Structure 1
Amino acid sequence: MDYEQAGELKIGQVGIANLRVRTLDVPRLVQEMNERVTRAPKLFGRAAVILDFGGLSRTPDVASAQALLDGLRGAGVLPVALAYGTSEIELLSQQLGLPLLAKFRAQYEPADAGESVAPRAAPAAPVREVRRSAPAAAALAAKPAPAAVPKPGRMQLANVRSGQQLYAENCDLTVMATVGAGAEVIADGSIHIYGTLRGRALAGAQGNTAARIFCRDFHAELVAIAGHYKVLDDVPDNLRGKAVQVWLEQDQIKIAALD
């Protein structure tokens, strides 16, 4: 017998802040988060936050982690999960009653500066010798290799309304209209906005530090490149309402008017 579900579960792309703990100083972490919420309450007030303990040499004990959770809630944000790391982190998540989000850091935070990860080599396929006649071999060598087909960027023609989120996976995003307040546009590449940007724009979401944001009318709530962000309150008044470009330079967000 078929039953109609009371709730429909869907897995989708969500924008969640990732707090990577580099020093387990609970009062200092809580103070820093309180300052962020105070500066931009519409952005960070009651924001969902992932805790990432991967930057620590040792996994925190349950009491310290629980104190941090309570402090962050008191500062105005909502810790919702731990970033996946080690078996100790998995055990800690169970003790705290929080889920793990696997590979979360890979989506929104690049590897640490100076850290190099060698790509895993694919298993070698068995080699089989094939004999061809001289004319056939010459014809095969003369045949040009097929050109790689570039993946087109995603284009949005209509306005992006409050509460909407667009994500351009492995490509640039071009918005020909307005990104409203409370809306969010995300791209693994660069973001080009030909209307007004009032919401949030996050470029280089997979860690591409060379990504940029271009906007014709800048009023953004937040802009981010490869996880580094800047809120509107930190932007000079002379850049608001201007055509600007946003880029990352030595882990600092830079914003300049376009000539």
Structure 2
Amino acid sequence: MSAVVDYAQAGELKFGQVGIANLRVRTLDVAQLAAEMQDRVQRAPNLFARAAVVLDFGGLSKTPSIDDARALVDGLRTAGVLPVALAYGTKEIEALSQQLGLPLLAKFRAQYERADGDAAAAPEPAPRAKASEPAPVAAKAAATNAAPGLVQKSPVRSGQQVYADNRDLTVLSAVGAGAEVIADGSIHIYGALRGRALAGAQGNEDARIFCREFHAELVAVAGHYKVLEDIPKDLRGKAVQVWLDNGQIKLAALD
């Protein structure tokens, strides 16, 4: 009689949306970068202490050496955060990630700067062959098939995360402390916001955040953020909108 084979997996692997901070390195000064990060951790330990961080070297003129990169990883760990990956970029970045033993995350596509200071996109895959239909027709079809906004009817509780992929997010209830709501578009919250709200997650600088009762731990638009300690006290508990103006986070009461 043959033995019964158990094919049950010991571990179940799933892929999902994960909230990870992206540190764009503009000057490779390890001491200064570590000091800046330590200051963030000390000011908002609930948000940044032992936070996962992706390193983005796209703001540098050349890829760091392995020694400099290791020194930065060690410095950031000492400051209180955990570098977990490199932002996808060039072949040099890919080689550096292998030397560091860190993965590349394609979701965090590094942006590289030209000599004149303007940002240039990292190399993209070769363009696909043109469709047989005229471009205006294809554009119209894409607009027609755009995903509607995501509506979250129940409260978002501590430890939960809701992500609206390539669309707006509307929360009909509250976002609790320790909870996180993320949208590639704008975020509308019809209850209290006590956790974190991140709009324009893929870089949309026109995205906004609206909430009826503002107590946010953190708000961000297109990667630019403010924590509770940086927000004027006269806005707390008010109906507030958050938007981006020339790279600066702005907040104003809606009343």
What TM-score do the two structures reach when normalised by structure 1?
0.85
Match of residue 240 from structure 1: 236
Q: Compared with structure 1, are the counterparts of its residues 174 and 69 closer, same or farther at alpha carbon in structure 2 (3 Å cutoff)?
A: same
Structure 1 CA distance for aligned equivalents of residues 130 and 57 of structure 2: 36
Q: Compared with structure 1, are the counterparts of its residues 257 and 59 closer, same or farther at alpha carbon in structure 2 (3 Å cutoff)?
A: same
Give yes or no for the alignment of 1:205 onto 2:201: yes
Match of 1:66 among 66, 70, 93: 70
Identity of aligned residues (%): 71
Shift of 1:151: 2.9
Q: Compared with structure 1, are the counterparts of its residues 239 and 124 closer, same or farther at alpha carbon in structure 2 (3 Å cutoff)?
A: closer
Match of residue 229 from structure 1: 225
Match of residue 131 from structure 1: none
Match of residue 129 from structure 2: 123
**CA RMSD in angstroms, aligned pairs only:** 2.5
Match of residue 254 from structure 2: 258
Moved more, 229-238 or 2-11: 2-11
Match of residue 133 from structure 1: none
Match of residue 185 from structure 1: 181
Matched to 2:164, the amino acid is A
Aligned residue pairs, count:
240
Gaps of 5+ in 2: 134-139
Shift of 1:87: 1.5
Secondary structure of 1:102's aligned partner:
strand
Shift of 1:62: 1.2
Shift of 1:227: 0.7
Structure 1 CA distance for aligned equivalents of residues 157 and 113 of structure 2: 33
Shift of 1:114: 4.6
Structure 1 CA distance for aligned equivalents of residues 100 and 9 of structure 2: 30
Structure 2 CA distance for aligned equivalents of residues 2 and 183 of structure 1: 38
Secondary structure of 2:144's aligned partner:
coil
Give yes or no for the alignment of 1:102 onto 2:106: yes
Match of 2:88 among 84, 105, 115: 84
Tell me if structure 2 keeps the 8 A contact 1:52–1:82.
yes
Gaps of 5+ in 1: 128-144
Give yes or no for the alignment of 1:153 onto 2:128: no
Match of residue 3 from structure 1: 7
Q: Compared with structure 1, are the counterparts of its residues 254 and 6 closer, same or farther at alpha carbon in structure 2 (3 Å cutoff)?
A: same
